[in-house]
Structure 1
Amino acid sequence: MVKLSLFAVAASIPLLGCNVEPPPRSTGGVPDGRGGDPGAPRACERGVAIVTSDYQSTNIVVSRLDGTTLSPSFVSSGAAKPGLSLALSGDVDVPATAPPSGRVVLIDRYGTNVLTWMDLETAEVIAQLPVGQGFESNPHDYIEVDADRALVSRFGSNPTPGAEPFDEGGDLLVLDTAKYSIEGRIALPEERAGLLPRPSGMTRVADDVVVSLGRLAADFSDVGEGRFVGVSPEQRAVAWTVDIQGLHGCGRVAVSPSGERLAVACSSRFDADTMSFDPATSDIVIYDARSAPPRELKRLGVARALDAGVQRSLAFASEDVLLAMAYGGNASAGDSVFSVNVATGDVTPLGEAAQPFAFGGVHCSPGCGDVCLLSDAERSTLRRWKVTANGALDPLEDVTVDTAIGLPPRSIGGL
């Protein structure tokens, strides 16, 4: 049974990067607004935003798609920035999907419940917006759906709503990104008593936004089977639902370069007593994205093959190859990273960590440099691979991204 959140588990491990010096001044934005690579195809992301953190303080690094650092301290929790009236906490993330507006968006989670928009070129704060409405909403992801609208997933639910507008939680807030205000909410379903929807990662698939639901009890003592839903931004309603039968703890849905395939990784039920995951309820599942709802094509059998729970974060390195990770199995075993062939299910080991919960975000740029990145808190670096024409991932030299403060990288988002 799930007894506490993975964030709580990770925070309980000896912190990497503590007792660092006070943060220096911000190293500023990226002047050309193209991630430092003006020759990149316009269909490509401009770069990546990398969250480095020891869970007490946070620093945001801006890098090229190949992981090369452009601004080692774009903004940090200790830096005084004009307009940053609500300081960043130690629990900050960035959107997985690059905002088409070109703004840098910071998601300040539990205890703060604030979104911050920043200018990539100047590193100046554009606006901040509280999204808690009187309770711990714990925002998890942000996605822009048109020029003036965005959605934010609120993982937390309010046990006593009704005191303020939009204070229910367990939903998607609809934001006006021209006025930086809340204009509505989209309720998310949960029919099983004792469970909350727990929306987290979001992905754009055709006209819909696909939202992964954690389906956890308020005290994390119970968890439902995996589920993701398709939300229509135009209708502001759930258009379809996909249940992932027999699997638990499923993460954000990844989209293949062609847009025809989806992949989702499910980590299983987490047992806090043994600090372990159950491979029997963990796997990577492939879907046909050309139908609505997406149709399940196959399960790759990765968790059983590795005898370990698959981590929830994964990315398409190419149309036929995924970059993914697995937990070590218990608190004394380290994480592993591997590639897996979507057609055959063949697994290729790529590396290991000595500690658990060391690996974090993954990001690949198929067709835009063809480099995959993995945040490694144990080494305080990005591990990198070049994706070859035949789908193999050849290792590149690790990169230290936070050269300003020295915090370990935790997650990676598109710019």
Structure 2
Amino acid sequence: MVKIIHFAIALSIPLLGCNVDPPPPSTGGVQVGDGGGGGGGDGGEADGGGGGSEPEACGRGVVIVTSDYQSTNIAISALDGTTLSPSFVSSGAAKPGLSLALSGDVDVPATAPASGRVVLIDRYGTNVLTWMDLETAEVIAQLPVGQGFESNPHDYIEVGEERAFVSRFGSNPAPGAEPFDEGGDLLVLDTKKYTIEGRIALPEEDEALLPCPSGMTRVGDDVVLSLDRLAADFSRQGEGRFVGVSPEQNAVAWTVDIQGLYSCGRVAVSPSGDRLAVACSSRFDADAMKFDPATSDIVIYDARSTPPRELKRLGVARKLDAGIQPSLAFASEDVLLAKTYGGNASAGDTVFSANITTGDVTPLGEATQPFVLGGVRCSPGCGDVCLLSDAEKNKLRRWKVTANGALEPMEDVTVDTEIGLPPRSIGGL
């Protein structure tokens, strides 16, 4: 068992450098009534939430990471993108209550934690989880999940009132010095004691590859986990794969291989729960700065079968001559919000909608640079607004989803009005 760090008094973090203006103080927590209803379900990057009249499954809003990759600020927003607390906590705040300071590489869980806590995933170089109280913005606990190596935690999902999984992308080349130091796995956490209680090993039959687990979502009784399958030196990559993990058995229950496609992201779930969508971006050619559309696509699955059964491939990468970014969201039962990477047909990233029934692709916007369009999130049935983080514009782009599935543009929103960092990713709340 790994000991947790608890906090009763907020600790100061010294600022780096001289003659630097201190950052503004935290703008504080959000009362449940301010953010909307309670609870928090998962809609495959489409959690709900919003006004008090919305159903409980809608959740309470979203958590937005703003960052320049050197420092990080966390904002809390409503489901429609309206900012509720522009600086809930930041890496440079004078009194954040953090014993282990936030780095510039922080993410938040895609699935809203059922506990109602704000959970921060501090990745490479820090390897720490932080739990915070939404209403008071106080740190509840922090838990190191590195165990002596760069575990690079990627996602967190609560699977019971006192249990959670965290995916560790990194693998330890020399395990055995500490408990739970293998990596490339799912850690099983006790979220009452804030301790590591166990680990779930992940399958990889190719000895040259590591599993590299990343995004998770809940599908029925199982947690669906995407595997990046990379060589330790990134020289090789396996085809796309996701697995179903049983929280009851603490074991992998089934495996789905995505033949011919690579670098596949977190599985998104349709509002009905009947269909899944996975976006694969292809093997990236770093020398040419290009993605291969032949090994990139969006794949639709029938979630009613176990394991999920492939229904169709949309062929959007070839249509757009670009690699499809691995994060996407269901805007409605038939329409997806997705993005391409810049570098092929376009100098910059693009955003589009795709109708999975008709195959129609509708351009929604573009950037002038690659790698600037980030997190996407939609709230079907809970306000019907889609959000996209745009680091180039330093805005949240927004669309209203109409009754026929069209996405109508809304006014962009500035998220971080205190420090000014651009939005990068969006998580559930």
Q: Distance in 2 between matches of 1:345 and 1:158?
A: 43
Q: Distance in 2 between matches of 1:288 and 1:20?
A: 54
Q: Distance in 1 between matches of 2:150 and 2:126?
A: 8
Give the equivalent residue in structure 2 for 1:302. 316
Give the equivalent residue in structure 1 for 2:10. none
Following superposition, the deviation at residue 39 of structure 1 comes to: 2.9
Following superposition, the deviation at residue 332 of structure 1 comes to: 7.8
Give the equivalent residue in structure 1 for 2:276. 262
Give the letter aligned to residue 236 of structure 1: N
Following superposition, the deviation at residue 45 of structure 1 comes to: 1.4
Out of 183, 194, 197, which is 1:180 matched to?
Answer: 194
Give the equivalent residue in structure 2 for 1:32. 32
Give the equivalent residue in structure 2 for 1:411. 425
Out of 321, 324, 332, which is 1:318 matched to?
Answer: 332
Q: Distance in 1 between matches of 2:349 and 2:417?
A: 24
Secondary structure of the structure 2 residue equivalent to 1:100: coil
Give the letter aligned to residue 35 of structure 2: G
What are the within-5 Å matches in structure 2 for residues 100-249 of structure 1? 100-249=114-263
Secondary structure of the structure 1 residue equivalent to 2:260: strand
Give the letter aligned to residue 263 of structure 2: G
1:20 and 1:405 in contact (8 A); partners too: no
Q: Distance in 2 between matches of 1:340 and 1:132?
A: 39
Q: Deviations over 1:269-328 (max 9, x none)?
A: 001101110000000000000011000000000000001000001000000000000012
CA separation of 1:159 and 1:80: change in aligned 2, threshold 3 A = same
2:22 and 2:94 in contact (8 A); partners too: no
1:81 and 1:124 in contact (8 A); partners too: no
Secondary structure of the structure 2 residue equivalent to 1:247: coil
CA separation of 1:184 and 1:405: change in aligned 2, threshold 3 A = same
Q: Deviations over 1:159-201 (max 9, x none)?
A: 0000000000000000000000000000001111211000000
Give the letter aligned to residue 282 of structure 1: S
Following superposition, the deviation at residue 136 of structure 1 comes to: 0.2
Following superposition, the deviation at residue 219 of structure 1 comes to: 1.3
Q: Distance in 1 between matches of 2:345 and 2:408?
A: 29
Q: Does 1:285 align with 2:299?
A: yes
Q: Deviations over 1:42-74 (max 9, x none)?
A: 121100000000000000000000000000000
Q: Which runs of 5+ in 1 are unaligned?
A: 1-18
Q: Distance in 2 between matches of 1:362 and 1:375?
A: 7
Give the letter aligned to residue 361 of structure 1: G
Give the equivalent residue in structure 1 for 2:342. 328
Q: Distance in 2 between matches of 1:26 and 1:80?
A: 8
Give the letter aligned to residue 359 of structure 2: G
State which drifts further: 329-338 or 301-310: 329-338
Give the equivalent residue in structure 2 for 1:89. 103
Q: Distance in 2 between matches of 1:410 and 1:82?
A: 21
Q: Distance in 2 between matches of 1:238 and 1:364?
A: 29
2:296 and 2:317 in contact (8 A); partners too: yes
Out of 356, 372, 377, which is 2:386 matched to?
Answer: 372
Following superposition, the deviation at residue 38 of structure 1 comes to: 2.6
1:67 and 1:373 in contact (8 A); partners too: yes
Give the equivalent residue in structure 1 for 2:41. none
Q: Distance in 2 between matches of 1:260 and 1:387?
A: 20
Give the equivalent residue in structure 2 for 1:46. 60
Give the letter aligned to residue 181 of structure 1: T
CA separation of 1:20 and 1:228: change in aligned 2, threshold 3 A = farther
1:376 and 1:409 in contact (8 A); partners too: yes
State which drifts further: 214-223 or 67-76: 214-223
2:71 and 2:103 in contact (8 A); partners too: yes
2:210 and 2:230 in contact (8 A); partners too: yes
Give the equivalent residue in structure 2 for 1:4. none
Give the letter aligned to residue 316 of structure 1: F
Number of residue pairs matched by the alignment: 397
Q: Distance in 2 between matches of 1:406 and 1:218?
A: 36
Secondary structure of the structure 2 residue equivalent to 1:411: strand
Out of 349, 360, 365, which is 1:346 matched to?
Answer: 360
% of aligned pairs identical? 85
Q: Which runs of 5+ in 2 are unaligned?
A: 1-18, 37-50
Following superposition, the deviation at residue 371 of structure 1 comes to: 0.1
Following superposition, the deviation at residue 103 of structure 1 comes to: 0.2
Give the equivalent residue in structure 2 for 1:23. 23
Q: Distance in 2 between matches of 1:89 and 1:331?
A: 34
1:326 and 1:335 in contact (8 A); partners too: yes
1:20 and 1:406 in contact (8 A); partners too: no
1:21 and 1:405 in contact (8 A); partners too: no
Secondary structure of the structure 2 residue equivalent to 1:304: helix
TM superposition score normalised by structure 1: 0.94
Q: Deviations over 1:212-246 (max 9, x none)?
A: 00001111111100000000011010000000000
1:268 and 1:282 in contact (8 A); partners too: yes
Q: Distance in 2 between matches of 1:312 and 1:169?
A: 23
Q: Deviations over 1:77-129 (max 9, x none)?
A: 01134541000000000000000100000000000000000000000000000
CA separation of 1:193 and 1:384: change in aligned 2, threshold 3 A = same
Give the equivalent residue in structure 2 for 1:15. none
